Structure 1
Amino acid sequence: MKAPFPAEAFDPSLPQAEEALRAVLAHVPALRVEGINDASALDDWKPDLVVRLRVNDQPHLLICALKPSGQPRYARGALLELRRHVARHPPGATPVFIAPYISPAVRQLCSAERVSYLDLQGNTRIAFDGVFIERIVADKPQAEHRELKSLFRPKSAQVLRAMLREPDRAWRVSDLADVSGVSLGHVSNVRNGLLDREWARTSDDGLVLRAPAALLDAWRDSYTAPAGEQLRFYTPLHGSALEDAARDALRAPDAAGHAAFASFSAAQWLAPYGRTGTHYFYADETGLRALQAALKLAPAAKGENVSVVMPKDPALLTDTIEPAPGALCTSPVQTWLDLCIAGERGAEAADHLRQEKLSWSR
């Protein structure tokens, strides 16, 4: 069954929702749509659409709520109103939540609340009286991709990393802007994105992470390697000699430059799992020169054993942790993200690091 509307349809109207419903219901021979229309207000709430059906010649109603966003923050209230409305209705009514796009998390929420759903991307689950319609579309709409990507772009990521360093802290927007080094407006945008997805909540003291694990999962799924130049080198140093030389370079008192262990090399200090033959660093130009001198690096077209990334995002070089003197490492979150895209061995090391350093009870 083809999706009733293209992925770009992100400003739903009642005619769009009606057409989508008709397209879905038409695939069930036992159903006959007798009419779709607005409903009269009941108490303080009015359904957006009521679908009058015949199912094997028996009457049935679909009571529908249409929302411009399917994010959890908006879905939860709609589901509550639907359940309340249907509870007051005679038997033979099914609540249906309709939105432009309904994520897997909200689909689970709908199932838990016994509410059917339909989105304009084609995801559907409508169940009643022996009728069961279900369809899952693998792709997310482009608007959802763009919105989620924006939440993990460099400036937004600075805010997220600050919050994940202190996952139990309640943040005022101004404090979060100061700590993360981004504007108040940008922090507010991140705040809204977290609240919409219920990854954070508000308290009397400020914004608090509600589901840091879910936030990490989404970040991993959207993550790509940081933009920047990747350089490959060969060092004649090995073992403790290389390690000591690297630590001397990383703790050199040069305020103008930055360098840090990254990826597998950072993980060895944060949560040792398995060694690799290549050593990984992030560095700016001054930090690179310090590493070149300390590790006696020579450019290598092949057979390299040192990889240095010079990221365009300078915040990656200041969001660091020092588990031992001179062992300056990318933060646990950044190290974990880099391991997640480093192949099978990287995924195993990422799982171990997350269990050791990024596990929360919520």
Structure 2
Amino acid sequence: MKAVWAFESDATHALESVLAAIPIVTLQRIERNVMNGPHEFDIVVHLTAAGQPHLLACEVKQNGQPRYVREGLLRLKNILQRAGLQATPVFIAPYLSPEARMICQENQVGYVDLQGNVRLEFDGVFIERIVADKPAPDRRELKSLFRPKSALVLKTLLHDPHRRWRVEELAQSAGVSLGHASNVGSGLLDREWADRSAQGLFLAKPNELLDAWRDAYEAPPGKRLSFYTILHGKLFEEAARATLRTPALNARAVFASFSAAQWLAPYGRTGMQYFYADEAGLERLKTALQLSISGRGENVTVTIPKDRGLLEDTVEPAPGALCTSAVQTYLDLCVAGERGREAADHLRREKLQWAQ
């Protein structure tokens, strides 16, 4: 992270560039770290708009996550009120997500970020520009929140969004370290997807969390194998359930994707059956389902995922019908094409509805 003074310099240049592009604005001077009695403003801009003098009072933060935006806006508006200064408040950060920008807009505060997102309104001036791309660090940070180990924490929270969790309890339930559970919790708090009460951490916006996870989700890496079976209908179902019901030592297999959705929230059948399995689980499926390799007509897909957690995060809606959880099934359906997205939307309506 840059030193504060260096970032404030970048913020000043970004603001200058925006104002220079507005024909009716004439920039007089820009001051940094301006004291007004006991109050300090990060940047104060003196300008004229259509010949009339005006001030912009700016709060500069190196973190543009919603939590820090809300705190910064509160500070800026409070010191403006206490200082009795007639100025337009502006928030500046490296990057402001749509959620962060909406917080600014709801609080009637202008914003500028270093990615090019801008919204300023004062004295007959209105400028708004939205840049679609996220900066690479923000993409990496968001992606890390959805990595397999972090996903264990998210799924634990989504199982009961309104439960209050102590970090120790959350880590134990998710099967991760105390530090990792704490880091995931901090990431959720920064984005305001989670909140904290005296009883512990809870999801404040589970729907927004799931939306973001869906948008960032990619099919889990692993070995994907296709087979053919002569078993159909009830014969296939009985053979599969008998196998999944009695897992052997170190042999795991579960219904996945469309096949899991048929048990969780039936929508429309497909000609293909889907499983996640480990190597030993695959061998059991081969025997029980009479799977053979065929050059055409495959009707069973088995994925051996690198992430073993997919074989642990399961539900059993009927005896032997061991399935990936509703959250995991939803995510997998979302990347399974148009029919998958339709089935995912149906599953979400049936199984993943939370009041906020």
- If the TM-score is normalised by the length of the shorter chain, which range does it land in? over 0.9
- Shift in Å, 1:55: 0.6
- Shift in Å, 1:89: 5.8
- Shift in Å, 1:86: 3.5
Residue aligned with 2:35, SS: coil
From 3, 20, 27, give the equivalent of 1:26.
20
Q: Which residue of 1 aligns with 2:153?
A: 159
Structure 1: runs of 5+ lacking an equivalent: 1-7
Does residue 1:61 correspond to 2:61, yes or no?
no
Q: Which residue of 1 aligns with 2:300?
A: 306
For residue 162 of structure 1, what is the amino acid of its counterpart?
Answer: T
Q: Which residue of 1 aligns with 2:166?
A: 172
Which stretch shifts more, 111-120 or 248-257?
248-257
Work out the CA distance in 1 between the residues paired with 2:3 and 2:181: 25
- Shift in Å, 1:301: 3.8
Aligned partners of 1:98 and 1:118 also within 8 Å: yes
Q: Which residue of 2 aligns with 1:361?
A: 355
Q: Which residue of 2 aligns with 1:194?
A: 188
Q: Which residue of 1 aligns with 2:287?
A: 293
Q: Which residue of 2 aligns with 1:149?
A: 143
Q: Which residue of 2 aligns with 1:350?
A: 344
Cα deviations across residues 121-155 of structure 1 (Å, max 9, x unaligned)? 11111111111111111110000011001100011
- Shift in Å, 1:45: 4.0
Q: Which residue of 1 aligns with 2:110?
A: 116
- Matches of residues 34-45 of structure 1 in structure 2 within 5 Å? 34-42=28-36, 45=39
From 202, 205, 211, give the equivalent of 2:199.
205
Residue aligned with 1:122, SS: coil
Q: Which residue of 1 aligns with 2:75?
A: 81
Q: TM-score, normalised by structure 2?
A: 0.96
For residue 116 of structure 2, what is the amino acid of its counterpart?
Answer: G
For residue 111 of structure 2, what is the amino acid of its counterpart?
Answer: Y
Work out the CA distance in 2 between the residues paired with 1:21 and 1:130: 18
- Shift in Å, 1:84: 2.5
Work out the CA distance in 2 between the residues paired with 1:91 and 1:128: 15
The 3 A distance-change label for structure 1 pair 336 and 44 is farther
From 9, 17, 24, give the equivalent of 1:15.
9
Does residue 1:261 correspond to 2:255, yes or no?
yes
For residue 337 of structure 1, what is the amino acid of its counterpart?
Answer: L
Work out the CA distance in 2 between the residues paired with 1:43 and 1:190: 40
Q: Which residue of 2 aligns with 1:107?
A: 101
Work out the CA distance in 1 between the residues paired with 2:267 and 2:36: 60
- Shift in Å, 1:293: 0.8
Aligned partners of 2:36 and 2:83 also within 8 Å: no
- Shift in Å, 1:95: 0.5
- Shift in Å, 1:253: 4.1
Aligned length: 355
Work out the CA distance in 1 between the residues paired with 2:195 and 2:76: 23
- Shift in Å, 1:157: 0.6
Aligned partners of 1:169 and 1:208 also within 8 Å: yes
Work out the CA distance in 2 between the residues paired with 1:221 and 1:345: 17
Which stretch shifts more, 11-20 or 217-226?
11-20
For residue 102 of structure 1, what is the amino acid of its counterpart?
Answer: L
For residue 9 of structure 2, what is the amino acid of its counterpart?
Answer: P
- Shift in Å, 1:299: 1.5
Cα deviations across residues 224-252 of structure 1 (Å, max 9, x unaligned)? 01111000011111111111111111112
For residue 61 of structure 1, what is the amino acid of its counterpart?
Answer: L
Aligned partners of 2:274 and 2:300 also within 8 Å: yes
Cα deviations across residues 282-302 of structure 1 (Å, max 9, x unaligned)? 000111111111111012343
- Shift in Å, 1:90: 5.9
Q: TM-score, normalised by structure 1?
A: 0.94
Cα deviations across residues 257-308 of structure 1 (Å, max 9, x unaligned)? 1111100110010011111111110000111111111111012343211111
Residue aligned with 1:288, SS: helix
For residue 226 of structure 2, what is the amino acid of its counterpart?
Answer: R
For residue 52 of structure 2, what is the amino acid of its counterpart?
Answer: Q
The 3 A distance-change label for structure 1 pair 33 and 21 is same
Work out the CA distance in 1 between the residues paired with 2:36 and 2:324: 56
Does residue 1:249 correspond to 2:243, yes or no?
yes
Q: Which residue of 2 aligns with 1:5?
A: none
Residue aligned with 1:38, SS: strand
Does residue 1:335 correspond to 2:329, yes or no?
yes
Work out the CA distance in 1 between the residues paired with 2:322 and 2:172: 23
- Shift in Å, 1:191: 1.0
Does residue 1:317 correspond to 2:311, yes or no?
yes
Tell me the C-alpha RMSD between the 2 structures.
Answer: 1.7
Structure 2: runs of 5+ lacking an equivalent: none
The 3 A distance-change label for structure 1 pair 206 and 305 is same
The 3 A distance-change label for structure 1 pair 290 and 343 is same
